[in-house]
Amino acid sequence: MVKNSISFTNQEKDIAQKIKRLKEKAGSHSPSIYTIAEFVPQLNITVDACFLSNPYATDLFFHYFTEELIESGKIKEVLEYYPSQNQTIAGVLSKHLNVSPKNIFVGNGTTEIIQAVIHNFTAEKIVVNIPTFSPYYEFVKEGIEIVYNKLDKQDNFVLNLEDYIQLIKKTKPDTIVLINPNNPDGGYINLERMEYFVSELSWVKNVIVDESFIHFAYEDVEYNLRTLIKISQKFSNLVLVKSMSKDFGIAGIRAGYAIMNEHKVNRLLKQGYLWNLSGLAEYFFRLYVRKDFLRAYEKVRIPYIQASQQFFAKLAGIKGLKVYPSMANFVLVELNNGATSTDLTAKLLLKYGIYIRNCADKIGLDGQFVRIASRTTEQNQFVMDCITDLFRDV
């Protein structure tokens, strides 16, 4: 046995094998806790620290949903009738975002938006950072060149904007992608630098900036949102992508939107995407723009950011772990104590019922990496205690 490795009982080994196979089957994504629970019923999963969402915001949404749709009985209409069409829901979002509906495209989750944009607008070459969210390269059509900009572990995976701009100038792509904060490391580029970046790339046809985790990033003590939305009208090549499942924890509803120039929105709408949102997604967007909901949301957003950052700082204190700086609601953790990410993931699940993201499949990550999501304060403390406990035994 390798020094400092995590040990398993024979029974645990069997289950660990089963989990490993499930993961392999799921490709570059992780099996959901339901899939795992279905195939490995003996597991008792208590914390889903693979799932990237603010659980307090889910509770808030669910409170409104229960009162306004369930208790009123309106849910039946929401399930039965056709939801509004794409541009009607864009109109709902318009006032809140202060962006014309002609520049808004709503999607059945961000994966649909990424697919639509890359399939329709990327004709020759795309530049993406790695590690990254895999659909940005997986959805690229055959025959299109993918240029990877590898973020360096030695630099804490911090994106060097100048180098990135130079690479883009050199390789002359028609599409570039930047996720801010980045997934899976949480690296953040401040708004001023992002504005500079976008302004340097006015000649690139499609500048995709994915701000799905932006609700967790901050630059001041009031945790004000720092997004490119305000300047989106200045750059007609900018495609600003936003998932709603990270901040609101409603992945089952499938809701996202993107801001892009009118020509692009029209081109997508001409090709379909007519009724791509469900009745529940429409309800969510109509709720999302309401002042009462937004006020209540701020009260669960800010404390969650604070608790998340405290959690990350505590994790960094565990010997043998390197915790990378994150402005998202998760951290990338490197194991420097001889344990493998596959063993740690399996052991946490088997012994404590904690599910974390094994990053063994992530291209661009050389070493032993896991990604741990911030959940409720109590769950974060439990994760912290269990990892501490586990590595005390190693």
User: How many angstroms separate the first and last alpha carbons of the chain?
Assistant: 12
For the chain, state the CA radius of gyration: 21
Of residues 273 and 352, the one with the C-beta less far from its own copies? 273
Helical spans, DSSP H, in the chain = 10-25, 33-39, 55-65, 75-80, 86-97, 110-121, 135-138, 161-171, 191-200, 245-248, 262-270, 279-288, 291-316, 341-347, 377-393
Of residues 235 and 273, the one with the C-beta less far from its own copies? 273
Distance of closest approach, residue 278 Cβ to its own copies, in angstroms: 5
Distance of closest approach, residue 274 Cβ to its own copies, in angstroms: 5
Could you say which residues in the range 126-185 bind its own copies, by CB under 8 A?
135, 139, 141
Of residues 335 and 354, the one with the C-beta less far from its own copies? 354
Q: SS3 for 175? A: strand
Instruction: Tell me which amino acid residue 30 is.
Output: S
Is 311 a binding residue for its own copies by CB under 8 A? The answer is: no
Of residues 41 and 252, the one with the C-beta less far from its own copies? 252
Binding its own copies (rule: CB under 8 A), the pick from 65, 121, 164, 288 is: 65
Binding its own copies (rule: CB under 8 A), the pick from 273, 304, 311, 324 is: 273
Cis omega (within 30 of 0) on the bond before 325?
Answer: no
Distance of closest approach, residue 100 Cβ to its own copies, in angstroms: 17
Binding its own copies (rule: CB under 8 A), the pick from 19, 83, 208, 238 is: 83
CA dihedral 98, 292, 373, 305 (to 10 degrees): 80
Binding its own copies (rule: CB under 8 A), the pick from 103, 108, 183, 212 is: 108
240 and 211 in contact (C-beta within 8 Å)?
yes
Binding its own copies (rule: CB under 8 A), the pick from 85, 261, 309, 310 is: 85
Residue 273 sits at the vertex; the CA angle it makes with 194 and 54, to the nearest 5 degrees, is 50
Of residues 80 and 220, the one with the C-beta less far from its own copies? 80
Write the DSSP assignment of 217-272 as a string of letters. --SSTT-----GGGGGGG-TTEEEEEESHHHH--TTT--EEEE--HHHHHHHHHTS
Of residues 206 and 245, the one with the C-beta less far from its own copies? 245
Contact positions toward its own copies, by CB under 8 A? 26, 29, 32-35, 48, 51, 53, 58, 61-62, 65, 70, 75-85, 88, 108-109, 111-112, 114-115, 119, 135, 139, 141, 245, 249-254, 271-281
